[in-house]
Amino acid sequence: MTETQELRQQELATQDRLPKVKEVIDRVGISGLRTGLKLSNAGNDSHFTAEIDLFIDLSEDRKGIHMSRLVESINEVVSRGSRQTKASFEELGMDILDELKKKHRYSKGEITIRTTLFLSRHTPVTNRLTDEPYDICIGVISRNDKFFKKMRVKAIGNTLCPHSLETTHGKAHVQRAELDLQIEAPIKEKIPLEELIAICENSFSSPTYTVLKTPDEAGVVEEMFRNPKFVEDVARDCFRQARNLKFKGCVKIRATSYESIHKHNAVSEIERVFE
Amino acid sequence: MTETQELRQQELATQDRLPKVKEVIDRVGISGLRTGLKLSNAGNDSHFTAEIDLFIDLSEDRKGIHMSRLVESINEVVSRGSRQTKASFEELGMDILDELKKKHRYSKGEITIRTTLFLSRHTPVTNRLTDEPYDICIGVISRNDKFFKKMRVKAIGNTLCPHSLETTHGKAHVQRAELDLQIEAPIKEKIPLEELIAICENSFSSPTYTVLKTPDEAGVVEEMFRNPKFVEDVARDCFRQARNLKFKGCVKIRATSYESIHKHNAVSEIERVFE
Amino acid sequence: MTETQELRQQELATQDRLPKVKEVIDRVGISGLRTGLKLSNAGNDSHFTAEIDLFIDLSEDRKGIHMSRLVESINEVVSRGSRQTKASFEELGMDILDELKKKHRYSKGEITIRTTLFLSRHTPVTNRLTDEPYDICIGVISRNDKFFKKMRVKAIGNTLCPHSLETTHGKAHVQRAELDLQIEAPIKEKIPLEELIAICENSFSSPTYTVLKTPDEAGVVEEMFRNPKFVEDVARDCFRQARNLKFKGCVKIRATSYESIHKHNAVSEIERVFE
Amino acid sequence: MTETQELRQQELATQDRLPKVKEVIDRVGISGLRTGLKLSNAGNDSHFTAEIDLFIDLSEDRKGIHMSRLVESINEVVSRGSRQTKASFEELGMDILDELKKKHRYSKGEITIRTTLFLSRHTPVTNRLTDEPYDICIGVISRNDKFFKKMRVKAIGNTLCPHSLETTHGKAHVQRAELDLQIEAPIKEKIPLEELIAICENSFSSPTYTVLKTPDEAGVVEEMFRNPKFVEDVARDCFRQARNLKFKGCVKIRATSYESIHKHNAVSEIERVFE
């Protein structure tokens, strides 16, 4: 650099100067920002405690991004959310990425919102209403001004081992199991979170419930013994239903069985692209 | 303070000056220091990857402790350990507290060593040898120049629900379970870690194993169905055996059952003092 | 047992029979139940995603508790909460313990509610409004029909090392730090959560903020350099303010400094009983 | 299926029968198996406590894999390891995958070994010897009978903010930071773990040390102030050195700065393929 160029560099904010190593950064931003969120659907408000990651790319000729603009974009949309109505996490994510575009240049932006969703269920025999918790994670990606989404749900159920049911003649080991179902698709694909969670719950030997009276507990146990499943069966049954959603994009399934006869876990994964 | 007193203060190391708030600190030191450890028992070396906390008390007239002396005390004993032979974590802990006493004044010192212990087991039917992992945590406390110890072991087993076994006529829900057994006693009480772990494993519907061939798996399932246990039974059976160790001190038991029919856990705790 | 006694036992629910080991259980119940909660204060609703533990004691002559009644007590109060107004977590906890007393015998009951509280703050220079997250944990204990409470807050700030500020002449290492402040007191003591959190934030070299514009960032850095603090200073400053709350009960303080020059942490603890 | 076909199916082990959903499983196996490992290099033994995942693929015409054969393959190689000498985790991984091939059919196999590596360092001024811990993760993949490796190291250092150093005239916020460096390459590429860790440590404002005497602490602080770095600089400096290793494969870098002025983290990622 000439002396003049160097002087000009010094006049810029530290972030806007040339970096020593001239390389594009793929993702830079903030992780683990916690905030409250509100969604409004058909007049009903839902409240969430969420953790947000927000990343953009950075060209090779800038030393750093202006991080506070990322936080400001989240804050403005979230506080505006109390006045306007957003029906979904996807809309919220797109709004934040749009707001950020006004404040900071980027060609790829990605927001991830991790939170807990509660859904109403009925117990299988006494038909009681229970609220069940599900970890969810919604990502919105802006790539060359097109939006994509990532949806990830985790559901807790159980597996009853088909092999042991045969070899011990009607007895079997059972255990808590978890399905982690992720899809990535263009933003316009209609894939409700509730449906992804239902797909997971239908894939276990039985779903699980927060409250179970004695007849319900017996009902769950009977259902487990009617549906013995390896962790492979859980992943395949989940995949079959996910394929039936008929969207373009990709799907990742991870079934984990917290074995009751071992200290380690059994895991089964399927990944596919639907074109 | 007079001007002279203040000048004298400035000549001291920052840590040795008077604090603004004159209060005794109960425990101050380092947490999460990771190191490799070696024990030698009857000519056999055992190697461990451990995480250490080391705390001392601080009188009301000192601003701070000299933290590097804590780390040095650990390092000296641990590296010396490669030349000398220590047979137990308790000896190692006492050595470190003794070494620290030479370097730093304290009236109460406490070291905690968290690591994984592997023990040999045989599978129940085919009699294969397996190495099973257990989380352990050994504490040594020096109080007015007397030593005490805390021993904590965690073992993984399972519970088979006795209530569901009756109501569903021979079927039952089963799940992974964990026992967390802690004892605190004068240092001289002879209580081998291996015995505490065995007590835990005997308290479940069945222990768990890393490798199980088909006949072993059937054996474990049969054993679970012979020993249906609530999480309350697991805690009580663990307590009964711990009491039989006949030591002076206290015991804390926490049994956790990772329910296969619920998303939450069932827990049972017993705490007692033996005098 | 005589044959008649045994027959009578078989007629009872499994839980109500005599256990093999006749020992009181100190705490038995459920842990990690997740639910949504609402509080209403002066017409303002606040929404929380919470994780609940609920434990009771069990006499030596019963094999087990009826776990579903614990979940039902939570569900009834929480869903009723949407119609009635509860102003605090303490009230919610007392209600659940009262509801449980109608369904299940116990002499000691304990509920713990873990959640995230958001509080409004202003940035130090540009005076922007930000929402800051705090992990809190509220316990309510019923002991011989008297209520006690446990309040625990965690706040994130920083420490600037006073020793290094001197030895490197105006330069110093700085790091993220955390205060964990717990109090236990009779239920009637007035100790607002917000005040406990403020006490923590006042104890660091500086509090932390979610959004900081350049002048705010400079303001925080200047404040850190004006308030160099060892982790011992943080614990003592927190204690001094907690003592000024003038309640009867006990206090536990744990300050942790995630050292930027080490891989391990520095920790300082103070515990006191106020009578 | 005809009746004869069905009868033939029943004669097979449960795992070997046709699944209801005929889909290939990409990865199925065990996760979180804990074991002790030994490596021998130039006559020096190193001992590790490791956690292992072992996965294979499964064709669409088999219901399940025989999980116990995975555990047996690990056990045989690990116990044989006490007699034979393996110099690296890669060799150990290849041996386990070869052993498994004798016991179970697969076209893709993948083993992951997570453990802690200790390396010797000298403090910057007093030149003391310290043992520093690093989380590492070694993967070996067998794909169509060719071996590939994944190497992942995590190192803890710090960042000193260049922007705040300018705006507050020689003062700055500092914080603990972490680099997560992953490479994937053909097995024959020579890339020592120690070198990957050194690359990470050279990328921070300063490395961190377990023990630091007062002159060392001053030395580290001086070094941090000489090397102010954004999290973007850390990722780029790490990338520049990784590129100089001149291997064919891909690299993923994630730098995380645990901000001392915020409650959230700053993150920067670079991913590249070297051909």
Nearest-angstrom CA–CA distance, C245 and C252: 14
Is C61's pLDDT higher than 90?
yes
Residue (of A34, A64, A29, A32) closest to A49 by Cα position: A34
- Are B120 and B134 in contact, with CB atoms under 8 Å apart? no
- Average pLDDT over chain C, rounded to an integer: 95
| D54: closest CA of chain A, how far (Å) | 10
By CA distance, what is B70's nearest residue in C?
C266
Is D82's pLDDT higher than 70?
no
Q: Hey, what's the torsion of the CAs at B205, B211, B215, B218, to 10 degrees?
A: 30
Pairwise CB contact (< 8 Å): A168 & B222? yes
Chain C residues within 8 A of D208 when measuring between CB atoms:
259-263
Q: What number does CATH give the domain A114-275?
A: 3.10.270.10
Nearest-angstrom CA–CA distance, D166 and C23: 67
Pairwise CB contact (< 8 Å): C21 & B240? yes
| A212: closest CA of chain C, how far (Å) | 6
Regarding the domain delimited by B13-106, which CATH topology (the fold level of the hierarchy) does it fall under?
Answer: Urate Oxidase (3.10.270)
Instruction: Please enumerate in sequence order all residues whose Cβ is within 8 A of that of D21, keeping only pairs 6 or more positions apart, or say none.
Output: A233, A236, A237, A239, A240
Is D71 at the interface with chain B, CB within 8 A? yes
Pick the CATH number of C153-275 from 3.40.50.10320, 3.40.1080.10, 3.10.270.10, 3.40.50.150: 3.10.270.10
Is C274 at the interface with chain B, CB within 8 A? no
Is B43's pLDDT higher than 90?
no
Nearest-angstrom CA–CA distance, D199 and D134: 13
* pLDDT-based confidence at residue C81 (cuts at 50, 70, 90): low
Q: What number does CATH give the domain B119-275?
A: 3.10.270.10
End-to-end CA distance of chain D: 50
Domain ranges of chain D: 20-106, 116-275
What mean pLDDT is predicted for residues D154-170?
A: 97
| B116: closest CA of chain A, how far (Å) | 13
> Which residues share a beta bridge with B155?
B179
Is D147 at the interface with chain C, CB within 8 A? no
Chain B residues within 8 A of A208 when measuring between CB atoms:
259-263
What mean pLDDT is predicted for residues B178-191?
A: 97
| A24: closest CA of chain C, how far (Å) | 25
> Which residues share a beta bridge with C55?
C29, C110
Chain A residues within 8 A of D268 when measuring between CB atoms:
25, 27-28
What mean pLDDT is predicted for residues D255-270?
A: 98
Is C203 at the interface with chain A, CB within 8 A? no
* pLDDT for the residue C48: 96
* pLDDT for the residue A108: 98
Is B204's pLDDT higher than 70?
yes
Nearest-angstrom CA–CA distance, A239 and A250: 11
* pLDDT for the residue A85: 76
Tokens of C271: 């515990």
Is D225's pLDDT higher than 80?
yes
Is D81's pLDDT higher than 70?
no
For the domain made up of D116-275, the CATH class stated in words is alpha beta
pLDDT, tens digit (0-9, with 9 covering 90-100), for A76-101: 999 876 667 789 999 999 999 999 99
Q: Is this structure's pTM higher than 0.95?
A: yes
Lowest mean pLDDT among B6-10, B222-226, C68-72: B6-10
Cβ neighbours of A174 (radius 10 Å): 32
pLDDT, tens digit (0-9, with 9 covering 90-100), for B137-177: 999 999 988 999 999 999 999 999 999 999 999 999 999 99
Nearest-angstrom CA–CA distance, A165 and D130: 54
Mutation target among A130, A163, A164, A174 for the B interface, most CBs of B within 10 A: A174
Is B49 at the interface with chain D, CB within 8 A? yes
Series of mean pLDDT values for 10-residue runs along chain A (275 residues) = 83 94 98 96 91 98 97 91 80 97 97 98 96 98 96 98 96 98 97 97 98 96 98 98 97 98 98 96
Nearest-angstrom CA–CA distance, B117 and A185: 46
Instruction: Please enumerate in sequence order all residues whose Cβ is within 8 A of that of C91, keeping only pairs 6 or more positions apart, or say none.
Output: none
Chain D residues within 8 A of A262 when measuring between CB atoms:
30
What mean pLDDT is predicted for residues D237-247?
A: 97
* pLDDT for the residue B81: 64
Instruction: Please enumerate in sequence order all residues whose Cβ is within 8 A of that of B262, keeping only pairs 6 or more positions apart, or say none.
Output: A208, A209, A210, A212, C30
* pLDDT for the residue D43: 83
- Of A161 and B79, the structure prediction assigns the larger pLDDT to A161
Mutation target among A20, A261, A267 for the D interface, most CBs of D within 10 A: A267
Pairwise CB contact (< 8 Å): C261 & D218? no
> What single letter denotes the amino acid at residue B41?
N
By CA distance, what is C215's nearest residue in A?
A68
- Are D141 and D150 in contact, with CB atoms under 8 Å apart? yes
Alpha helices in B53-88 (DSSP H): 67-80
Lowest mean pLDDT among A73-82, B33-42, D178-187: A73-82
- Are D137 and D113 in contact, with CB atoms under 8 Å apart? yes
pLDDT, tens digit (0-9, with 9 covering 90-100), for A103-153: 999 999 999 999 999 999 999 999 999 999 999 999 999 998 899 999 999
Chain C residues within 8 A of B236 when measuring between CB atoms:
19-21, 23, 25
- Are B39 and B90 in contact, with CB atoms under 8 Å apart? no
| C77: closest CA of chain A, how far (Å) | 13
* pLDDT for the residue C18: 96
